[in-house]
Amino acid sequence: MGAAPAGGVEAPGKRGVSQIAPGVKYWNFDISASHGTTRAHVLDVDLRDTRTSVGLLYPGEVGARSAVSTLADGAGAVGGINGDFFNISETQHPGVEATGAPVGPAVARGHALKGAVPNGQRFGPAMPPGVTTEAVLGVGYDGRARLDSLRLEGQVRIGQTRLPLGGLNQYALPVGSVGAFTSDWGRTSRVRSTCGTDTNRGAPCSTDTHEVTVRAGRVVESAGTPGSGPVAAGSTVLVGREAGAQELRKLSIGDRVHVWHRLVSTESRMPLRFALGGYPVLRGGAPLPGLDPATSAVRTAAGISDDGRRLLLLSLDGSPEFRTGLTVAEVADTLRGLGAQDGFSLDGGGSSTLVSSATATLVARAPGAEAVTVRNNPSGGAERPVANGIGVFSRG
């Protein structure tokens, strides 16, 4: 850590190194960056250790939020950080409930929770050129971490009619499409899914909507506007907007409808056991073209090294003396300086949190402790409830 990574970011030696669990270490270091000195907190995870794994932290519902420390303790994790950007507010749609749902795809224990919203509907800073909301950081069934993309494939079959499925448990659906909501979505209103357009998140909500509930392969309910409340296990609520709504209006109670969906890894072709959204900043040891070199902020990111066998979870400190943070370009340089070949940016600002079982949010649990502790100082002064995160687990 003595040499400065390319790009001028100087990262002095590690401090506060502690063994959190088998294959899991915590440490921190200060970075001399373009806007001042910032402090980085790191969970260093050795995925070669068979006692160690990572997985999705989330509140049990896609349309919900919770603090990283609460999510980590509830799941029995020894550490973790906050994850994807999410639907945090709806100031442009007065009266519409913000869902709290994440932007990108999410997979928990091999189960596809949700697909990616249209690019124009995302929250968060601009992505590098050519990157889409389908980008994920994941771990495959081979135990290796990787950058990938997850595309939703699905269909609604009504007699001889085949409708492509436009979304799965998403706070925003493509214009003219039909989306599916399952019990994974939770109790949050589905109205937001019909607001905005594929290129303009703030565009008005559609006035041409319809939804039907399908149970045991038949339509059991029909409504002119999207509803709220839990979706019963085994049921699927189909929400349509514009052309999709017109197709759903043709259905009557008792009509047969078959719905199927899956998330497909488009780069590795490896089924992912865990995945969440964000956007890549480093590939093959090289920063992606077009990374913002000017806007500095408190940030959270993840780095992959050793051919996917090592995962570095990084969260910057939000305390006043370190709040200048890093630019996205500096995040890529910092991850590369830590030995990462690939890097992935996650939600930052007030969301940045790292927790561990010893003491962004980065959380970690100290050896022998019963609960995790927030290691960085969230910039808002307290943990912000977030949509999801990366949990570190140990059987040791």
**What is the tens place of the pLDDT at every residue in 244-294?**
999 999 999 999 999 999 999 999 999 999 999 999 999 999 999 999 999
**Cβ atoms < 10 Å from Cβ of 216:** 8
Predicted pLDDT at 360: 43
Q: What is the CA radius of gyration of the chain?
A: 21
Residues 122, 119: Cα–Cα separation, whole Å: 6
Q: Is the dihedral of CA 124, 46, 52, 359 positive or negative?
A: negative
pLDDT of residue 148: 98
Residue 129 · residue 33 · CB < 8 Å: no
Residue 320: band (very low, low, confident or very high) from pLDDT cuts 50, 70, 90 = confident
pLDDT at 3: 38
What is the distance in angstroms between the CA of the first residue and the CA of the last residue of the chain?
A: 29
Q: Which tens digits make up the pLDDT trace of 195-233? A: 999 999 999 999 999 999 999 999 999 999 999 999 999
Measured in degrees and rounded to the nearest 5, phi and psi for residue 288 equal -65, 145
With cut-offs at 50, 70 and 90, classify the pLDDT of residue 7. very low
Confidence of residue 14 (pLDDT cuts 50, 70, 90): confident
Which positions ≥6 away from 368 have C-beta within 8 Å?
none
- CA pair distance 262, 286, nearest whole angstrom: 32
> What is the mean predicted confidence (pLDDT) over 91-113?
97
Q: What is the pTM of this model?
A: 0.92
Average pLDDT (72-78) is 94
